[in-house]
């Protein structure tokens, strides 16, 4: 099976292809290609590992300006020129480093992306963003530089640990929930009868999610309006990810972050109305995350004070207001600004505590 669609972008429009049942060793790029690949994948899939590939571990510690510098240096040593093409194979970490490296190498070379995690397939592969960590600040540097083409081979999901599938599903359901049309219902029906991990419908979930995200990024390519709603769960999620010292991975942290955001919305609203759409999401995400074996322990060790400190330093806040994405009483997302003061600080800390308590053993 192969599905092809186009993402319109003012920078450069690009194609997404979803393949199932294709051999991994068909991964190639145009002539003059240089490959940047997750080091772990070179062991897992020796047949797709190029002799002169640039390898790096897919860890948060790799997402730095220093790594980008070393990729650029290696490209030069290997003889890459302005006519060269970068092929990136890996999850979101490889994508972030590849985007930034391709955009800056000799002022920009074209690139192709093969996402290998479900999170990369359902979410990060489109939208053109790069995010690089600097010092203690996660995703603080970055730019927009879409690839020429994204080729999604769902076979890669067969080797992903269950936690990585759950992480991808958290991002997928977030995108579908953000939609005001039918995407959330469609997502739920694709996952309804298949247990926690809907292995047989992953390709359909990927297509549904990417087509839904496409609407957001084509309307608001540079995060000025509606696309900001896709940050649902992220401000709290990044805080949890960092405060856990990355023991809780990005997608899982976004899942917890959505629960914290829902908790916040109920605390902020003077007359909280438990909206059924929001409750369905809450229960689905809570149950999905129960499949992450280490989560209860990781959350028990997480300090709400430290998570709050990370929350405060998020780049999406204003000087005197915290910016959060929460559901309204009708169950749809909106951007809410709350004043930076002791009351708001307590609300945030208490919301972290409430969700930690959900997973207490």
Ligand X SMILES: NC(=O)c1ccc[n+]([C@@H]2O[C@H](COP(=O)([O-])OP(=O)(O)OC[C@H]3O[C@@H](n4cnc5c(N)ncnc54)[C@H](O)[C@@H]3O)[C@@H](O)[C@H]2O)c1
50 forms part of the interface with ligand X (CB under 6 A) = no
237 forms part of the interface with ligand X (CB under 6 A) = no
Instruction: Select from 174, 250, 310, 356 the one that contacts ligand X (CB under 6 A).
Output: 250
Residue 202 or 338 having the CB closest to ligand X: 202
Six token digits for residue 73: 């240096």
159 forms part of the interface with ligand X (CB under 6 A) = yes
Q: What is the DSSP letter of 249?
A: -
Residue 90 or 331 having the CB closest to ligand X: 90
Chain centroid to CA 30: how far?
Answer: 27
153 forms part of the interface with ligand X (CB under 6 A) = no
147 forms part of the interface with ligand X (CB under 6 A) = no
332 forms part of the interface with ligand X (CB under 6 A) = no
Shortest CA distance to 40 belongs to which of 28, 51, 32, 48?
Answer: 48
Which helix (H) or strand (E) segment holds residue 65: the answer is helix 65-78
Residue 119 or 333 having the CB closest to ligand X: 119
Which helix (H) or strand (E) segment holds residue 190: the answer is helix 183-191
CA–CA gap between residue 241 and residue 102 (Å, rounded)? 27
How near is the Cβ of 357 to ligand X at its closest, in Å? 26
58 forms part of the interface with ligand X (CB under 6 A) = yes
Exposed, middle or buried, 22 (CB in 10 Å: 0-12/13-18/19+)? middle
120 forms part of the interface with ligand X (CB under 6 A) = yes
How near is the Cβ of 22 to ligand X at its closest, in Å? 14
90 forms part of the interface with ligand X (CB under 6 A) = yes
How near is the Cβ of 94 to ligand X at its closest, in Å? 6
Half-sphere exposure of 146 (CA within 13 A, CB side): 22
Is the Cα dihedral 147, 151, 152, 155 positive or negative? negative
Q: Which residues pair with 152 in a beta bridge?
A: 18
Q: Report the interface residues with ligand X, using CB under 6 A.
A: 38, 40-41, 44, 58, 60, 63, 90-96, 116-117, 119-120, 123-124, 127, 129-131, 139, 156, 159-160, 164, 167, 250-251
């Amino acid at each position: 099976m192969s599905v092809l669609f186009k993402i319109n972008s003012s920078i450069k429009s690009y194609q997404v292809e979803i393949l199932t049942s294709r051999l991994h060793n068909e991964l190639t790029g145009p002539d003059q290609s240089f490959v940047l690949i997750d080091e772990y994948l070179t062991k897992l899939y020796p047949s797709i590992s190029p002799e002169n590939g640039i390898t790096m571990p897919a860890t948060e510690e790799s997402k730095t300006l220093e790594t980008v510098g070393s990729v650029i240096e290696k490209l030069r040593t290997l003889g890459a020129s302005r006519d060269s093409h970068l092929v990136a194979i890996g999850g979101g970490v490889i994508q972030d480093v590849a985007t930034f490296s391709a955009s800056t190498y000799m002022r920009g070379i074209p690139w192709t992306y093969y996402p290998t995690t479900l999170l990369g397939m359902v979410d990060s592969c489109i939208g053109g963003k790069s995010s690089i960590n600097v010092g203690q600040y996660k995703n603080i540097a970055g730019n927009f530089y879409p690839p020429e083409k994204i080729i999604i081979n769902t076979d890669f999901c067969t080797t992903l640990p269950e936690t990585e599938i759950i992480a991808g599903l958290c991002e997928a359901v977030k995108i579908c929930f953000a939609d005001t049309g039918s995407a959330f219902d469609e997502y739920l029906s694709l996952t309804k009868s298949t247990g926690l991990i809907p292995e047989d419908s992953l390709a359909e979930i990927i297509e549904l999610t990417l087509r839904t995200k496409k609407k957001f990024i084509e309307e608001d390519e540079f995060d000025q309006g509606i696309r900001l709603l896709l940050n649902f769960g992220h401000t709290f999620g990044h805080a949890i990810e960092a405060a856990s010292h990355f023991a809780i991975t990005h997608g899982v942290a976004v899942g917890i972050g959505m629960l914290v955001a829902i908790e916040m919305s109920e605390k902020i609203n003077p007359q909280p109305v438990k909206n059924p759409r929001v409750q369905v999401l809450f229960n689905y995400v809570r149950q999905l995350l129960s499949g992450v074996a280490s989560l209860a322990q990781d959350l028990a060790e997480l300090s709400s004070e430290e998570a709050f400190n990370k929350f405060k330093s998020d780049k999406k806040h204003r000087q005197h207001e915290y910016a959060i994405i929460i559901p309204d009483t009708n169950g749809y997302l909106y951007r809410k600004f709350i004043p930076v003061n002791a009351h708001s600080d307590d609300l945030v800390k208490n919301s972290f505590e409430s969700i930690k308590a959900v997973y207490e053993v």
